[in-house]
Amino acid sequence: MALKSTIFKAALQIADMDRHYYQDHNLTIARHPSETDERMMVRLLAFILHADDNLQFTKGLCVDEEPALWLKSLTGDIELWIEVGLPDENRIRKACNQAQQVILYCYGGRSVQIWWERNREKLRRFQNLSIFNLPQTTSVGMGELAQRSMAFHISIQDRQVYLGDENRKLIIDLTSLE
């Protein structure tokens, strides 16, 4: 018998001063049985950074043709393709050919540097690709915040994210890989 996804609920109050976006979101997130809390929370962070009424979590790990999140136009064109982790160059190339903009959020400490050194030259040719690295202490800290029911207050200013719940707060700095 196949394992089923675990359902998480997240209530977000987002104040993004960089984009002048101030909105509440109530999300339902399915965590695939093979997915860690850390990866799921990086997906949630990606949603927070690009929050939009039309931004959607996809089937992700279950379907190779879909990213972690995407934003589609009313005509079905992919405006934004968001990946998390360390995908291979073929997957990124495919995303860059299908979407107007592709954003990758890497996490995993030293493995990010190894992945970047191996893929840097191939990935630099994609003009519509942005890659950000999430420090390992931050991604692990986010994983520790995962609960079946979550409520976060988020403030974003100068690409720095302040994320907190009733008990803990994280300051998240993303660095661009160039």
Q: β-pairing, 160-164 with 169-173?
A: antiparallel
pLDDT at 4: 85
Name the band, by pLDDT with cuts 50, 70 and 90, for residue 63.
Answer: low
Within 8 A by CB and 6+ apart from 118, the residues are none
Arithmetic mean of pLDDT over the chain: 93
pLDDT at 120: 94
Average pLDDT for 103-120? 95
pLDDT at 2: 62
Angstrom distance (rounded) from CA 178 to CA 115:
13
Identify which of 157, 166, 161 has the alpha carbon closest to the alpha carbon of residue 17.
Answer: 157
Could you tell me the fold of the domain covering 6-176? Restriction endonuclease-like alpha-beta roll fold (3.10.640)
**Sheet order of strands, 160-164 included:** 21-31, 6-16, 149-157, 160-164, 169-173
- Report domain extents, the chain: 6-176
**How confident is the model over 10-23, as pLDDT tens digits?**
999 999 999 999 99
Query: For the chain, where are the E strands, in sequence order?
Result: 6-16, 21-31, 55-57, 69-72, 78-84, 99-107, 129-134, 149-157, 160-164, 169-173, 175-176
Name the band, by pLDDT with cuts 50, 70 and 90, for residue 3.
Answer: confident
pLDDT at 132: 96
Global pTM value: 0.94
Q: How many residues does the chain have?
A: 178
**How confident is the model over 126-168, as pLDDT tens digits?**
999 999 999 999 999 999 999 999 999 999 999 899 999 988 9
